Structures are given as structure tokens and as C-alpha cells.
Structure 1
């Protein structure tokens, strides 16, 4: 779960970061959070790209670009991420409809009210609720499908490479993993013992998939044509261009 905090007050950044950490420590549905803080809307937008963050918390009143102006720019690139405004007044609620805001937090807030707002924000999107549960001690690991870049075998373990760079090792068979991901068309078996999330392929090289994480997943030359056709079909089925005809 990738989280951005946009607030020009360092103290508020620390408070919000603490609340985020506490929330995800007790809520195992979305995995561990990766948190980045920004002092202004301008600083955030200079580093922002579509699909980069799952949850963005932003202060309504900031020097320079305010929260709404920042959110309008965010929505030009990303329609799906959850946006939560942090404000001292509910007067900004109407403006939130312009950017499909997922929630509001009114200062000062408690950890309980914070958790409730985040829960509502993340449950508002079907994409945010699509996850798999993997065997892992001491608690089963629940990972969002869109956080999985690729999976490969290492001995008796499956290694799950995630968008935040973390690798989760779970003791399970490759066949069990295939069964778990069956029915989710974004996953493709690149070779025996490796499954890639086609949504996270950045580039197709001669004998590798370059993933958004910077990692390379190899495939055999004789499989290239079949894999590229499967990837091409996936891209076609998931683009709005086909609706123009």
C-alpha cells in the first residue's frame, strides 16, 4: 500500500504518518504501508505519476497550491486513487465532489476517527478490495492484486515481488499459487515457476519483461510469440480505445 501525505506542517505530517502506521499495523487487509511526505502540492505533483499511490491524504489549506487545486491535478492523471482531505472545517466538503474525494478528516482528529475515515476511503473502490490471502506466519498475508509485480519459486517457497520493493516469502506450491490467481486475467505464466502481473510490465525486451519495479523477468525465445500475443490481448481488453470503434 503506497501512501502520500501532502501537508505543509511537519508536525501534522508526523501525526498523520503515525496514524497510518497504527492503522495498517492492526488492519492486515492491505499489507504494510510505504509512506512519503510532501511539503506542498507543487512538490508532490513534480514527483507524481499515475498509479503511484493508492491513498493520498492532503491538507486543504496550504501555501501555494491548496488541497483542491492539487487534487484537480491529481485527477487528471489518476482517477482511481483514494483521496482524503484533511481540514479544519467541513466547508470544503462540497468542493470534494469535483475530485471524487473518498473522505474528510477534520482537525483535531482521534486515531479512531482517522481509522474510520481510512476504512471508508479504501473500501470505496472495488480495485482496493481485490486481494488474495497467502499462508504466512504469524498472520495470513492479504495482498492487493495490484501490489503484486511478479511471483517466482525459490526452493519450497514462493517469492512475491511487490510494488514497494518488498519481497514476501510464503511456503506454498506453485500450482496452489496458480489456482489462487486463476480468474484474474492480468496474471500470466512467463515460464514454469514464474507469474507476472501484466499490468506492471513497463517494456518488452528481446527475452525479458522489464517490470515497473526495475526488475527483469526472462522468458524463453520459443515462448516469445505466445507471450507477446497474450500480453497484446490483455492490453486490448483493458484499454478504452476499443470503445471508440
Structure 2
């Protein structure tokens, strides 16, 4: 029975919804500056939504999903800790970073599974560490494939690549949305991907991204978009074992 892959991918936030909950406009503006620099540096796009109190944020969270919330603790009426307890009790999967001018609630932050506790005024080193703890990007060896298309440099997210193959004297990158033909050798284009565990040479001249393999059907790999790719018959057993090992590793990471 084929092993299904569709539910085993680790989440990678290419675009995020981030909530900033703080009754101080100055503190929100300071945090936004840090975020803009970090997100641009790491090529992550985000929608930033500001809230001046916990009540406003909790109301909004009932109707839309936020990937990350920066939550000030000392606010009028409901505190950030109160709001965090409500989120925790509701089973929210939003990643939480507390903001506070003191460490009074540091120990309590563990009880609601906060990712980090930032003490104001925020310093760059602490902010960097908080963002690293969020694990917004996957631990891929090669997150982006750098190419030049019609004299224009491009960065292709490798997670979006289905496979790369050779067509005549052209190497083609097949992504979820487009096919990119390049006048460059297959070996040169794919050299950097050899260090990335996701990419598997299924037959000479074809490198497949195992993230997008749905199942193995005889001598074929069936991809998430319905396409099929041939498997080297001589090395079929080894190729199948490599794919299954990758799947099991991904399941273990999810757990």
C-alpha cells in the first residue's frame, strides 16, 4: 500500500500573520522596526496587525489565525498573561512571545508555553534569539536556489521545486506554478542540492524533491500535482529505501 506524503511536511512560514499587542505605540513602533529588518533579511513576508489591548486581540483571534503574537504583559484591564492563559486553554497553536518591562512573569510564561520572554527595552541580541526560537524557517540545507533567468537574478524557494530535469540542451526547474528553462548544465544547476536530504536522483537527468512525492507505484514516483517520474530500475530498491527513510524521518520530526 503506498505511503501518503501530503500530511508529513514541516510547516514553513513563507507568509505569516503576526499580531503586536501592546498599549504603547512607541513600543509597537520599535518592535515593528526590528521585525521589518529581520523578515527582509530572511525573505519572509508578513502581515503585521496591531492591537492596543488584549481584549481586541482575543476578539480578532476568534475570526482569523495568527502565526505569532507578541504580547505585552502589563496592559489596562486584561493582562497579557490573562490573555495567554485563555489562548492556552483554547488549544491555540499561535506561537507566543511575551513583552514586559520586568521579569515578574518569567516563570509563569512557561506554563502557557511561551516561546520567549523579551524584556523592554528590547536589545538586538535578545530579539534575534527570540526569532530563532520561533523556528520560522525550516532546517533545509538549501532554502533557496539562486539562478539567473534572462539576465535577471532570482531566488527560487527549494520547497516549491517539484523536480529538475534535462530536456535536450536545456535544464528545466519544475515548480508548483511554473517551468523555468535555463541554458545551464544539469550538473552545475543541481550541485548545491546534493547536500539537501530532500532531493533524490530517481533516474539519470532527473532530481526529484521528495517533499512532493505522493507514492511509489511500480517503477514510477507519483507527485502531488499528478505527474509521474520514472525510477531507475537497476537502483529501484535503493531509491525506494531512501524515499521511505526520508518519510519516516519527517514523521519523527512532526512527533
Normalised-by-shorter TM-score class:
0.5 to 0.7
> Among 4, 22, 46, which residue is 1:34 paired with?
46
- 3-state SS of the aligned residue for 2:160? strand
- 3-state SS of the aligned residue for 1:238? helix
Question: Is 1:218 the counterpart of 2:227 in the alignment?
Answer: yes
> Among 99, 103, 110, which residue is 1:97 paired with?
110
Q: Distance in 1 between matches of 2:187 and 2:155?
A: 18
> Among 161, 180, 183, which residue is 2:192 paired with?
180
What runs of 5+ residues in structure 2 fail to find an aligned partner? 1-13, 51-55
Q: Which has the higher helix share?
A: 1
1:59 positional shift: 0.8
> Among 82, 90, 99, which residue is 1:86 paired with?
99
> Among 205, 209, 225, which residue is 1:196 paired with?
209
User: Matched residue pairs, number?
Assistant: 212
- What is aligned with 1:66? 83
> Among 160, 181, 186, which residue is 1:149 paired with?
160
- What is aligned with 1:57? 69
The C-alpha deviation readout for 1:107-157, integer Å capped at 9, x for no partner, is 5x46xx2x43332134456975544364468999697x7xx2325559567
1:85 positional shift: 1.9
Largest Rg, 1 or 2: 2
Change (3 A) 1:176 1:222: closer
Change (3 A) 1:179 1:134: same
Tell me: higher relative CO, structure 1 or 2? Use CA pairs within 8 A at least 6 residues apart. Answer: 2
Q: CA RMSD in A?
A: 5.3
Question: Is 1:120 the counterpart of 2:129 in the alignment?
Answer: yes
Change (3 A) 1:45 1:220: farther
| TM, length-normalised to structure 2 | 0.52
- What is aligned with 1:24? 39
> Among 208, 215, 237, which residue is 2:249 paired with?
237
What runs of 5+ residues in structure 1 fail to find an aligned partner? 211-215
Residues 22 and 72 in structure 2, CA contact (< 8 A), matched pair in contact too: no
